[in-house]
Amino acid sequence: MSKRLRRSLAALPLLTAAALAGDPASSFAVTPPAPTGTGFDLSKLFNAADVKYIGSFDMDFDNSVGNLETHAFQASAFLSQPIQLGSDWQFLPQFSYEAMLMNTTGPVPSLLLGDEDLHEIELSLYFLRLNDTSPWVYGAWINPALATDFQGISGDDFFLDAAGGVGYKLNDRLMVGLGAAALNITGDTTWAAGPGFAWQPNDQTMVSLFGPNFRATHDITPKWRVGVEVRPNGGIWNIDTALGSANIDYTNFRAGVTSSHNLAGDLWLSYGAGMTFGGEINVTTTDGSKVFQNQLDDLESGLYGFVGLDLKSW
């Protein structure tokens, strides 16, 4: 599952549940004006801006000797407060950047995959329809991105995704939603759909499921929050190889524990660790061939850890 699929399914249900958008894995929120009467503290799920490091280690190749480790450096920020469009619609732009450093140890598992320095730049555009007198919320997402090794920029390095969703506030403690997405519209398009909910049984606890992303948190104190997470990890990038233009598609899931501490004002320190599972990596040429799949493909479980700074509102 690519990062784009992860972001789409993560974003849509809550896109439809409040005036905010994005992906819990890369976070995003700007003190959103939640529907009147909601009991949710949505700042537990989203950030106005953040920077994060995620390391994944000791992922052995099932089909060959050697293993893979990755180091991801991420930064994202909303570029403005929600912009009103007419009486009900709102617009939010978000900028994101990620540097993904891949390192293989042991015998190189293919002629095309070695140590890779990969980059992704995204400008996500979110559109939301809200009305204080209605429990229904509607949202749309357009995401142009440049994902590349910067060895040569062509049309293959540009990706475009789009999505839409609808949500319903059942009561002041429970929101549900459903979204669908078209991914990599400019290439081999993938269609996906996913449900979601956000449930706050009390003021200290939040449980959410957005597509393949599950998260549960509990406030030990107003300045210390702990939780568990299960979410996809990885991405897709275009690279130049000896065989020409190709895509690296690296995905896995991570499951672990998290902790967040309020440093000052709206600034929080977050960190966590756990296991990776269900991983795979492949190099796919522009004609759809997965070259060296017999050497690459599945990855065994490994370890991961992350640390980041989160800004809850501007």
pLDDT of 191: 83
Q: Which CATH class is domain 3-311?
A: mainly beta
pLDDT confidence bin for 8, thresholds 50/70/90: very low
pLDDT confidence bin for 110, thresholds 50/70/90: low
Contact 161, 3 (CB under 8 A): no
pLDDT of 272: 98
> What residues does 276 pair with on adjacent strands?
254, 302
- Would you state the torsion angle of the CA atoms of residues 255, 49, 1, 286, taken in this order, to the nearest 10 degrees? -150
Q: Where are the domains of the chain?
A: 3-311
Model pLDDT for residues 253-272, shown as the tens digit of each residue: 999 999 999 999 999 999 99
pLDDT of 299: 92
**Is pLDDT above 90 for 129?**
no
Model pLDDT for residues 174-221, shown as the tens digit of each residue: 888 888 888 778 777 778 887 888 899 998 999 988 777 889 999 999
pLDDT of 31: 36
If you ran DSSP here, which 8-state letter would residue 29 be given?
Answer: -
Model pLDDT for residues 134-151, shown as the tens digit of each residue: 888 888 889 999 999 998
47/11: higher pLDDT? 47
Rounded CA gap, 31 and 33, in Å?
Answer: 7
